Amino acid sequence: MAKLERYHSKKFKEITSRALIYIILIILSIVWLVPFIYLLLQSFTESYDPTNIIPEVWTFQNYINLFTDPIYPFGRWYLNTLIIAIITAVLQTIITLMTAYAFSRLRFKTRQAYMKLILVIGMFPSFLGMIVTYFLLQMIGLSGSIFGLVVVYCAGAGMGYYVAKGFFDTIPRSLDEAAMIDGANKNTVFWKVILPLSKPIVVYTVLMSFTAPWGDYMMASYLAQGKQELFNVAVGLQQMMSKGRDIQYFPQFCAGGVFVSIGIMALFFWLQRYYVEGVTGGAVKG
Amino acid sequence: MSNLEYYSLTRPEKFFYKIGSFFKSIPLGIWKFFKKTPSKLKEFFKKIFNPIINLFHWFVRGDALTKLNFLVMGIGQITRHQVLRGLLNLCYEIISVIFIVLIGAPNFTKLPTFGYVSSVQYETDEAPFIGYMYQDDSFKILLYSVVSIIVILILVFLWYTSIRDSYELQQLKYIGKNKSDKETLKGLVGKDYHKVMLSIPTLGIAIFTIIPLFFMILIGFTNYNSNHMNPKELFDRVGLGNFQQLLGITGGQNGTQFALVFVQILIWTLIWAFFATFTNYFLGMIVAIMINKKGIKLKKLWRTILITTIAVPQFVSLLLMSKMLNTDTGVINAVLRELGIITQNIRFLTDGILVKVTIILVNMWIGIPYTMLMCTGILMNIPDDLYESAKIDGASPYKMYMKITLPYMLFVTTPYLISQFVGNINNFNVIYLLSNGGPIFSSINGEMITAQVFGAGQSDLLITWLYKMSMGEVFKDYGTSSVIGMVVFVVVAFFSLIFYGKSNSVKNEEDFQ
């Protein structure tokens, strides 16, 4: 009897702990999702009222206004960001992977010193030299165009090699050696042997470099120098929410936020597997 | 004490032993440092003098072409089958000499005073009636000088290698052999492949990171600010003036106030980095453990919900949060009032202490899903039999967490923790978009602030303060901001060095392969 009782109490404990976990998870889910549901709801409201969470009158006007508002050309910002993101994704991925491969696979005299140098440079605040960067862009004639941002992003791409290097480190070296014995040179090894095996990390790097320009505020706002036609979505929507117009424009901001988020969210769900792999691997190997 | 003896100690004994050995190691370290210094110095001088001796050696033994190579870079290579390399060297020499003569030299001569005259005013007939004729721009003079120095350094390096190669080719010729461009090109996909792979990244980092950084460090020793800017005035060297300002050594009462504000911001930066890193890490891990627990259903749903929040760009969630938390117009205050929980609006982002709590909480909301995602992957790698044997031995879940899960996670994710900590010290977006550093310091220790503190706010991190004083719309004080940047560097470097050496994946890099 006593045994059975103990068994029951154990089972009871198990059930309560599970129930507790479910309750916590549900609460967490609510906490995490409610702000975004609020964002979505507010994007359909006519005008902002803090006491109204669910809009009284539902309207699509905010989404239409986004693209017709003469003061805040959201369409232009969106296009800017999209162009920057696509070009950056391609170039940055190539540069990052090249650097990672060199540090992971090639052995040369200055390798350790170079890696340490990148580590040390990375410790300075990234925008400390921004006035010089702007001046340099002016010299090559890119200060008044969105491609200036592309150049700046790609120039720094070599410094973000850590995750990809960690991945390359796990690919057995014997593969390289086998290919070399078959007469391949190091160039072919990289393009024909290593890269095809590295699909997860390639996808992860593309995803990261594509999404980063959408959220960059600091660099983009400085290089735009207040010119609206050079804004990206982050700078643009931040502008929309400042200068005392935030209440009037809040629904429009929500619509913009939803518009930006949906595209990136779709991308994340599509490539979720690779993203998770990259995050886990990156954390382990730093 | 041997290892075995050490392990037989009790816990407090171990603790004291460690403390004791720490203090013992300090004089030992100093002694070692002084013992090693002479040999290190010798090595250092060897490294410097060797190239000079080499050059002398090559000049004496070199034939006419090698000797000519001292003057005309690459001539020794062009005449000995390495036409391409020789021509490239020659081209660089010509371009850099033209650059130095036309741009470098005039700027160098102005460098001691950063130019002579900033601008000359003259009268015009049109509206403002005053025009400026720009003369010297200190910014450009310093920048071009920095670029020239780099051009010269590269020139010296290429000059050295070109003479070396020329002499080598000469030697090879004696024994009837030669090296041509073909071999160089072959080397580029073979043993020199790293040069190909790293050329573009290096160029990018050198131009857009190293030059600006080097320049800004120099700016830290000048008074470059909105009063000393083209066309108004030239800027000037102030030596360590900016550092003294930060430490409150100069400037009387105002100076002390500035230093106090700086210290406050520094302390908050460290507190923030600590809490932001560890709250996210541990709570994210706990959420991951809950989702991973056997018997919990809908694992995919929970994970998807959290990934959704990662997918929304950070600036959207942050701006949204800052509006929701607004004291007068925010929805959270409105709802709490409607429900009758509060009668007075809570000043989430405008109260000096509350704002810090709010920021850390919002950061948890943003960061936990990411940590959760990372932890689930790693948790699944912990072998199940570890837990099973612990269970058989009667370990409680808490004990299993402390003895198995946590050590394993800490062991594996140290590099992640370091990068997170460093990233949080430099976490610009969360603070800037959420509170913009506010509320502004109005008094410190009950004393009105009269010093120029560049709009420093109570929730400002060093990095956002730096932004305010140099990149923002109001202030442009590059000299001070450069010094703050150096402080950030020192703080980050300090913490990185402490942890970096302890990380296993760094120590045993080659083990992975």
Beta carbons of B194 and A21 less than 8 Å apart: no
pLDDT at residue B512, as a whole number: 42
CA dist B410 and B379 (Å) reads 11
pLDDT at residue B62, as a whole number: 83
- The residues spanned by each domain of chain B are 3-51, 64-239, 246-504
Name the burial class of residue A211, with classes exposed (0-12), middle (13-18) and buried (19+) by CB atoms within 10 angstroms of its CB: buried
Q: Using a CB–CB cutoff of 8 Å, tell me whether A250 touches chain B.
A: yes
Interface test with B, best of A128, A238, A285 (most B CBs within 10 A): A128
CA dist B466 and B477 (Å) reads 9
Interface test with A, best of B207, B310, B312, B368 (most A CBs within 10 A): B312
Residue A249: which CATH number? Answer: 1.10.3720.10
Provide the domain count of chain A.
1
Q: Using a CB–CB cutoff of 8 Å, tell me whether A163 touches chain B.
A: no
pLDDT at residue A286, as a whole number: 46
How far away is chain B from the Cα of A157, in angstroms, using its nearest Cα?
7
How far away is chain A from the Cα of B4, in angstroms, using its nearest Cα?
32
pLDDT at residue B508, as a whole number: 52
Beta carbons of B369 and A35 less than 8 Å apart: no
Q: Using a CB–CB cutoff of 8 Å, tell me whether A89 touches chain B.
A: no
Interface test with B, best of A131, A245, A249 (most B CBs within 10 A): A131
One DSSP character per residue, B325-385 reads T-TTT-HHHHHHHHTTS-SS---TTTSTTHHHHHHHHHHHHHHHHHHHHHHHHHHTTS-HH
pLDDT at residue A12, as a whole number: 82
Beta carbons of B212 and A186 less than 8 Å apart: no
Residues in B touching A253 (Cβ below 8 Å) = 319, 323
Inside any domain, residue A210: yes
pLDDT at residue B10, as a whole number: 79
Beta carbons of A269 and B311 less than 8 Å apart: yes
pLDDT at residue B283, as a whole number: 92
| Residue B57 Cα distances to B75, B159, B313, angstroms | 19, 15, 62
Interface test with B, best of A51, A107, A195, A280 (most B CBs within 10 A): A280
pLDDT at residue B157, as a whole number: 92
Alpha helix positions (H), chain A: 2-42, 61-68, 74-105, 111-121, 130-139, 147-155, 162-170, 173-181, 186-188, 195-197, 199-215, 218-224, 233-240, 246-270, 272-285
Q: Using a CB–CB cutoff of 8 Å, tell me whether A263 touches chain B.
A: no
Asked if residues B100 and B83 have their Cβ atoms less than 8 Å apart, the reply is: no
Residues in B touching A136 (Cβ below 8 Å) = 207-208, 211-212
Domain of residue A141 covers 72-285
ipTM, two decimals, is 0.89
CA dist A244 and A250 (Å) reads 11
How far away is chain A from the Cα of B123, in angstroms, using its nearest Cα?
30
pLDDT at residue B416, as a whole number: 81
Size of interface A-B (CB pairs under 8 A): 272
How far away is chain B from the Cα of A56, in angstroms, using its nearest Cα?
15
Inside any domain, residue A171: yes
CA angle B454, B459, B462 (to 5 degrees): 60
How far away is chain A from the Cα of B111, in angstroms, using its nearest Cα?
18
Inside any domain, residue A165: yes
Helix (H) or strand (E) holding B31: helix B11-61
CA dist B179 and B184 (Å) reads 8
pLDDT at residue B338, as a whole number: 86
One digit per residue, the tens of pLDDT, for chain B of length 513 reads: 677 777 777 788 888 888 888 788 888 888 888 888 888 899 888 888 888 898 888 888 888 888 888 888 888 888 888 888 889 999 999 999 999 999 888 888 888 888 777 777 777 777 767 777 667 788 888 889 999 999 999 999 999 998 988 888 888 888 887 777 788 888 888 788 888 889 999 999 999 988 998 888 898 898 888 877 776 778 888 888 888 888 877 766 777 888 888 898 999 999 999 999 999 999 999 999 888 887 788 888 888 888 888 888 888 999 999 989 988 888 888 888 888 888 888 888 888 889 999 999 999 999 999 888 888 888 887 888 888 888 888 888 888 888 888 888 887 787 788 888 888 998 898 999 898 887 888 777 777 777 777 888 889 999 999 888 888 777 888 888 899 889 888 888 888 877 765 555 455 555 444
pLDDT at residue B251, as a whole number: 66
CATH topology (fold) of B246-504: MetI-like fold (1.10.3720)
Please compute, for residue B308, the number of CA atoms within 13 A of its CA located in the half-sphere on the CB side. 18
pLDDT at residue A144, as a whole number: 84
Stretches where chain A sits below pLDDT 50 are 286
